[in-house]
Chain A
Amino acid sequence: MLRIEEHPILTFEKGKLVTFTFDGKELQGYEGDTIASALHAAGVKVMGHHHVSGRPRGFYCAIGNCGSCLMIVNGEPNIRVCVVPLEEGMVVETQNNRGDLL
C-alpha cells in the first residue's frame, strides 16, 4: 500500500473517491490526486514506452518540467499527467508513439 495513512507532520485529508480507467482497466484514486499520483498509488509505474527505443517510461520530475509522463487522456495525446488533476471518469491510456493525432 503506497498511500500514507499516518504521518508525523502532515495530515492527508483524502478527497472523494474517483474512478477512472487506465488502458481499459478500472482504477480508483482520490480527489486531489494528479493522474500520475493516482496511477502510482495504484501500482502503475510504467506510463508508456519510448516511441523509438520502446523502453518503458515513468514520471521523473512530477512538476511538468521533463515530459517523461506523456499519456493519452480522454483521447488527447501528450498530456503531462503529473500536473493534471484526476477527474471522475477519465480515460487514461499509455502512449507508445509520439502522440500524433490521427
Chain B
Amino acid sequence: MREVDIAIVGGGPAGLMAADAAATNGASVLLLERDGHLGGQLVKQTHKFFGSEKQYASVRGVKIATILEEKLQGMSDLVEIWTDATALGLYEDGVLTVEKGKEFVKIKPKRIIVATGASEKFLTFVNNDLPGIYGAGAVQTLMNVNGVRPGQRVLMVGAGNIGLIVSYQLLQAGVEVAAIIDAAPTIGGYLVHASKIRRAGVPIITSHTVTRAYGKEAVEGATIVALDEKWQPLPGTEQELDVDVICISVGLSPLAELLWQAGCEMRYVPQLGGHVPVRDHHLKTTVDEVYIAGDLTGIEEASSAMVEGRLAGLAAASSLGFKSDSLEADILDCKEQLKSLRSGPVGDHINQGMAQVMLDK
C-alpha cells in the first residue's frame, strides 16, 4: 500500500493551496484530481476575481489556476500530482481507494485533506430533461474549455453570482441571453456583476421561475411565470421565450460523499448549501485524520477556498510535527483573512452557518 504524509483529494483552489502549504512546511503530499487537469472551477472562470491582493484579486480565475499550479511544480520533491485520479472511497481505517486511469490503487496517508468542491443543484419543471437544458458548469466547460457555444439564445435560470457571471461569459462568446430569471424577489449575486450584464441589454427578471420547456427533440422555447410573495405562480403571467438553451444555475451543494464514508459527523446547514462536516477552527473534522477545505465546507468563494486550503494544509502538517518558524503566524494570518472576507453583509449567512458546525466556539 502506498504511504504518504498527506493525501489531498481535489485539485481546485482549496486543494492546490493545501498542497502548497503542507509541502512548504516539509510534509510529503499526494494530490489527487479526477479531471485531466488541475484548477477545479477556476479553469472556467474568465472574469477577474474580487477579494484582496493576497487572494489574487483582479486576476482572472483561469490565470489563478496556472499561478497555483506553477507554485507546486517548483516543489516536485515533496508534491506528487495525479490527474485522472478519482478518489472512490475513504474508509474508517483511513485507507483511500483511488481509480487512477484504469488502475485501482490503495493509499494509506497519515492525514487526508478533502477538497472535492461542490456539485450543481437541479430544478423541476415540465420537460426539464430535454437536450438543450444544461447546468451552468456544463455551459462554462463547453464554452470556456472546449471553445464551443451551447446554442444561439439562452434563458438563464438563477441570478446568483454564477448565473450572472455565466451570462456575461455567454455574451463574450457571442451568444444571446434572452433573460436571466430568479425566483427570489431580489438579485442574489453581486450587483456590479448584475449591472455589467444589464447595460449590455440583458433583462434580469426577479420573482419569476421557469415552468416548462418545450421542443420535440431539443429545447425550442421556455415558459416563465411570475411568482407572488409566497413564491406561488401567478396565473395569467406566463410568457413564452424563444430559446434553444436553458441554463440552470440554482446553486451548489457540497460534494461530501467521502466524508460520509469516513464517518465524519455531518449537519444540514442551508446557509452553507446542504450537508456539511462539523469541524474545528483548524478545519479538522470529527475524524482525527481528516481535514477539509473549500466549497465542501460550505459554498463560498475561491478567495475563501484558497485561504481554507492553506489553513488545512498548515494544520495537517503541524499535527504531524512539521513546523516551520512562521507556522503559528501563518495560521493566524489565515484566520484573519477568513474573518475579514466574511465580515461584510455577504458574509453574514456564512457566519451564521459556520456557527452551527464549529466544534470549538
Contacts and interface: CB of A to CB of B under 8 A. Distances in A.
Contact of B141 (A46, A56, A58, A62): A62
A4 B218 contact: no
Contact of A32 (B34, B146, B217): B146
B326 interface: no
Chain A to chain B: the 7 pairs with minimum beta-carbon distance, closest first: A58-B131, A62-B138, A12-B147, A37-B146, A45-B131, A45-B218, A9-B46
Given A7-B173, A56-B218, A62 B135 contact: yes
Given A3-B147, A37-B146, A40-B142, A58 B130 contact: yes
B341 interface: no
A58 B119 CA distance: 19
A56 B120 CA distance: 22
B132 interface: yes
Interface string B146-164: 1111110000000000000
25 contacts: A3-B147, A4-B173, A7-B147, A9-B46, A9-B60, A10-B46, A10-B62, A10-B144, A14-B147, A34-B146, A45-B131, A45-B132, A45-B217, A47-B131, A50-B129, A56-B130, A58-B132, A58-B134, A59-B131, A60-B135, A60-B138, A61-B138, A62-B138, A63-B141, A68-B129
B148 A46 contact: no
Contacts of B133: 58, 60
B174 interface: yes
Q: Looking at A2, A7, A57, which has the most chain B CB atoms within 10 Å of its CB?
A: A2
Interface residues of B, number: 33
Interface string A8-41: 1110101000000000000000001110110011
A68 B248 CA distance: 15
A65 interface: yes
Given A37-B146, A56-B217, 12 more contacts: A32-B146, A47-B131, A50-B129, A55-B130, A57-B129, A58-B134, A60-B138, A61-B120, A61-B137, A62-B138, A63-B137, A63-B141
Contacts of A65: 119-120
B172 interface: yes
Interface residues of A, number: 36
B143 interface: yes
Nearest to B47: A9
Contacts of B134: 58-60, 62
Contacts of B150: 2, 40
Interface in A44-102: 45-47, 50, 55-66, 68, 82, 85
Interface in B30-67: 34-36, 46, 60, 62
A55 to B, nearest CB: 6
Given A8-B172, A9-B46, A46-B218, A57 B131 contact: yes
Interface string B86-100: 000000000000000
Nearest to B255: A65
B166 to A, nearest CB: 13
Contacts of B141: 62-63
Given A55-B129, A58-B132, A59-B138, A33 B144 contact: no
B143 A4 contact: yes
A41 B141 CA distance: 13
